[in-house]
Chains A and B, each alone.
Chain A
Amino acid sequence: MKLVLAILTATAIGLGFWNPGDTNDRSIPAGATHGPPGDGEVVDFKNDLIPMFTKLGCNAGKCHGSAIGRGDFKLSLYGGTPRADYDEIVRKLGGRRVNFNAPSSSLLFQKPAEYVEHGGGTLLTDGDQHAEPLLRWIRQGAPYKEQRQLTKIEVTPSRLVAHAPGEKTTLQVTAHYDDGQVRDVTHLTQFVAEDPTAVSVDSEQATAVVARSGRHIVIARYATEVVPIEIMVPVTDSVVDLSSEPRHNEVDEQVIKVLTELRLPPSPAVDDRTFLRRITLDLTGRLPTSGRATGSEYQNREAMVDELLASEEFVHFYTLKLAKLLRIQSKIDKNKVTTTPEAARAFHDWLASQLREGVGYDQMARTILTATGDSSKYGPATFYTSAEDPRLQTEFVTEVFMASRMKCANCHNHPLDKWTQDDFHGLTAMFSKLTRSQVIRINPIGKNIHPNTGEAAAMKIPGGTILPAETQDGRQAFADWLTARENRYFAKAIVNRLWKSLMGRGLVEPVDDFRSTNPASHPALLDQLAQDFIQHGYDLRHTLKTIALSSTYGRSSNPVEGNEADDRFYSHMVRKPLEPEVLADAISDVLGVVDQYGDELPGTRAVQLRDGAIRSDALDILGRCNRTNSCEGAPSPTGPLAQKLHLFNGALLNGRIGASGGRLDRLIETNRNPLEIVREFYQVALNRAPSEEEIKLVSRWLDDQQPAASQREVLEDFVWSIVTCQEFVANH
């Protein structure tokens, strides 16, 4: 079906609307050259051939761009190091890949043209737009030419709002160089859909056809530049009028803007009781206490949020969150760097004190990054005891504070981001100057050998300057750069985590994978939250409050017609499974039976544990994260099936539901009416009264004429159903 689309607005550069009848209209900027170099032009190895190899897939990770190459032919991943590729092509093995006598007999042509058997199949044919410049380059003597430096590429459109699936659009890429030249490099650009089932891309024709509604990403790659193209297709046919939706702050403005574009109707706001349970769990990791049973006693929700943020329970819960982020747990291994239990507790206590005092996150990060001393006495020094070597430390630091997976750049320039091997090993060089023991101090002879040079890598700020050779401790310079107001990563990394903590899904997912090719679902919102966070002194509480008071946060988790499939645009609240520690505490609170954690004092709550390695069967069953690696998105060690089996029939619940002195036992022993008992468990566990239908259902099970033992058994089954139901084990 061909739709006639209207241009809704005069679009800014890069923002386009799909025009299905205009698929071949590709205009290039005035003065831009088009297509491959002409016959008389020297073929530029870096700017013409390397992108061509990328487009053909030659230097992809599954082909010659893999770490060991393929068929004894190794190219840098996506052409990250053109000089090395030139040597590999022209010079290695006596120059056998290029035949100066008969260019078309060159292995470099024979293989992709499949005159010689080629595992990658036929990639070019005689006379096509790729074969011609390749052979001409050989005829020109296969020189290394790098006539100009690429400064940027522009993709048009960079953001599309289509009207329906099935429509096709034409993509165009323009390259800008340092000599002022502008070229249409669409023919040399590789287009890859992030989800090929959602968008069908014809890289040769530079067209994309979207298959279904929602937001989709296509990656355009030319030379070392990668740019995402965002494609939005409304979810419903009819326009959704959200002009009357409440907008409490900028969060709502941005979220509603996207909902409008996608024609996604939002779910209604939740009532005060539901909001109270949600916000209490999200900010304190606890169920609402009886004093906050309804939420109606508050003047408004802001007062409720303020009280929770000021509570000691908030400190406990967010210390746990930071402790997981920073992977605090004791680790004893005589052959490796170890974190002593004292060091784990010292770090945990230090974090708690920082939160209690309202210290800015930037100051906390600076203190941690520049820490030295005895980790068992000075908590921040523990940060340097968890990673086993300086390279893992670099991965850890960049994941935590920059939300960047820089580890790719250990072996090759990052294929989807700006990070180079020099960045990775330059940062590692800083951490190589530290002793890796309980006491963290500067080791003057520490060094990191750069795999490309075999020499000690120079300390380098990621994406920035090389530190003077005499620098002994580069961490202060790194911390200054990281926490500078203009840093692009630091503030966004933490506000995105705070957002996920409350909303269930990060604006960028995974939350530790920021890169230009993994754009935020709401980029402007992320920018604004980060700026607001910076302007308010990197105050975690401020950002949490901003999010919590938005109408977006207050939406029901129940979908309405039209937004059922939405899992990322916040038209309804995401149901969040309770974290293992929170669930363990909630079970204990509901059952009125405390759990025992290692040798901790009885009554210690799971969210208060100061060491992630403390023994606990309950936490293991509930899937606590092993903090040896990142806890973000990591699957639980036991897995959901094992967890469910334990909840169905395991000691975690069986022995505790009817335990002597527990809530149920006490209520029965005080001869409370069974329906009163039911109502109390509903209130404690779900912060609501049972519905009439639920009362009817439970009443059918309860029979006053039954013997007391049978009655007790029914009540135990009821309690079991309460603490295992989805409404209880999730925050919604």
Chain B
Amino acid sequence: MTNRPLDWPFGLFSLLALGVASLLAGQEPPITDLTFAPDGQSLVACSQRGLHIYRWPDLELQQRVDVAADNLHAVRFSPDGNRLAVGGGNPAEEGSVEIFSWPDYRSLTKLSGHDDSVLAIEWAGPQQLVSVGLDRQVISWDLSRGEPQATLQGHSRGVSAIGILPDNQWVTAGHDRSVRVWNGKSGALVRTLNQHNGSVHALATCPATVNQPMIATAAEDRSIRFWQPTIGRMMRYIRLESVPLDVTWIDGSHLVAACADGQIRLVDTDQVTLMKTMPAIDGWAYAVARHPQDGTVVVGGSHGQLKSLSLPSEE
């Protein structure tokens, strides 16, 4: 695997393409989500083939783990890093979240309650997890009992993204084009934000909070919108040339979007300008994850493709 320095014109970052780590045969299903283990030693990807555990940084496949559901859409580590939640389901029949121990991949429990596939999950605490799905439901799970704590209903179509904000507020977004803010404690809908003109595919909370929490949402209308959801304000937006399917923050003022044209786009979120467009994979790039320590981003998508692009030190 060779690293190739890239011409990164803005002087903040430069990317190094690490190359295609996994380009499997055409029959491979797409990788739909990615996450790094908290220690940064492993990358976890999910697809219809189950979980794939890759060693970092050489991306050598270490383990495949079967998951009960046919389709997998979301994978997240618990705050303490010793459990891994995987969301998915059997289309049009049921949605579930399966919890595995980490790093030994034992299935601990399966949370069933959705009527269609779970598309996104987030941990709201060591014993609380929130899942959203195509059945339009937002379910809060009490993991100590393995049961639903609350079911929040309000989205008129499938829910595709969830983010956890400070003060126990949750943000969800979905195919009804809305972004909704919920009181995680009471389950009450706080507000609905409607500026998107297409299905919202992804949501990412900004790691740096100055006054108000900020999130980014990526939608079918090719826009990425930046919000202060707790006060219901859309701050700015940028429209891309391709549909962003996933977004991840690099720092408080930069974000990477994985797009349907197989490219990733680096956005200056303060200036809402497109800084760089980079080819990543052939087909759709469904997922992008940032390494917790070294800033590398990994892109996954069509035909099981996985590609890492490193973000070296700041110039």
Contact = CB atoms under 8 A, between A and B. Distances in A.
A11 interface: no
A101 B283 contact: no
A94 B73 contact: yes
Contact of B28 (A91, A94, A100): A100
22 contacts: A72-B158, A72-B175, A87-B284, A91-B283, A93-B119, A93-B134, A94-B71, A94-B286, A95-B32, A96-B91, A98-B29, A99-B48, A99-B70, A100-B27, A100-B28, A100-B48, A101-B48, A107-B91, A107-B92, A110-B91, A116-B93, A143-B26
A213 interface: no
5 closest pairs, A vs B, by CB? A141-B27, A94-B32, A107-B91, A141-B26, A100-B29
A674 B188 CA distance: 88
Interface of A: 72, 87, 91, 93-102, 105, 107, 110-111, 116-117, 139-141, 143, 454
Interface residues on B, range: 20 to 34
A93 B133 CA distance: 11
Contacts of A143: 26
B42 interface: no
Given A72-B157, A116-B92, A454-B222, A96 B117 contact: yes
Interface of B: 25-30, 32, 48-49, 70-71, 73, 90-93, 117, 119, 134, 157-158, 175, 222, 239, 260, 283-284, 286, 302
Contacts of B283: 91
Contacts of A140: 27
**Which has the most chain B C-beta neighbours within 10 Å: A95, A97, A102, A139?**
A95
B200 to A, nearest CB: 13
A473 B119 CA distance: 49
A95 B93 contact: no
Nearest to A143: B26
Contact of B30 (A95, A101, A107): A95
Contact of A97 (B49, B73, B91): B91
A217 B73 CA distance: 49
B42 to A, nearest CB: 22
* Interface of B: prevailing SS: loop
Given A96-B91, A101-B48, A91 B70 contact: no
B27 A111 contact: no
B29 A101 contact: yes
Given A72-B158, A143-B26, A96 B71 contact: yes
Contacts of B134: 72, 93
A105 B93 CA distance: 12
A44 B120 CA distance: 34
B110 to A, nearest CB: 18
Most buried by B among A96, A117, A140: A96
B71 A117 contact: no
A215 to B, nearest CB: 45
Contacts of B286: 94
A396 to B, nearest CB: 28
Nearest to A140: B27
B135 to A, nearest CB: 11
Contacts of B27: 100, 139-141
B92 A110 contact: yes
B26 A91 contact: no
- Which of the listed residues B30, B134, B283 has the most CB atoms from chain A within 10 Å of its own CB? B30
A127 B70 CA distance: 23
Contacts of A100: 27-29, 48-49
Contact of B92 (A87, A98, A99, A111): A111
B49 A101 contact: yes
Contacts of B302: 91, 95
Contacts of B91: 96-97, 107, 110, 116
Nearest to A106: B91
A94, A97, A111 pick with most chain B CB within 10 angstroms: A94
Which of B26, B32, B92 counts the most A-chain CB atoms under 10 A from its CB?
B92
B248 to A, nearest CB: 17
A100 B30 CA distance: 9
Contacts of B260: 87, 91
A91 B92 contact: no
Contacts of B119: 93-94
A12 to B, nearest CB: 47
A93 B202 CA distance: 12
Contacts of A93: 117, 119, 134
A453 to B, nearest CB: 10
A87 B262 CA distance: 13
A94 B90 CA distance: 13
Nearest to A117: B92
A99 B48 CA distance: 7
A143 B260 CA distance: 17
Nearest to B72: A94
A238 B302 CA distance: 68
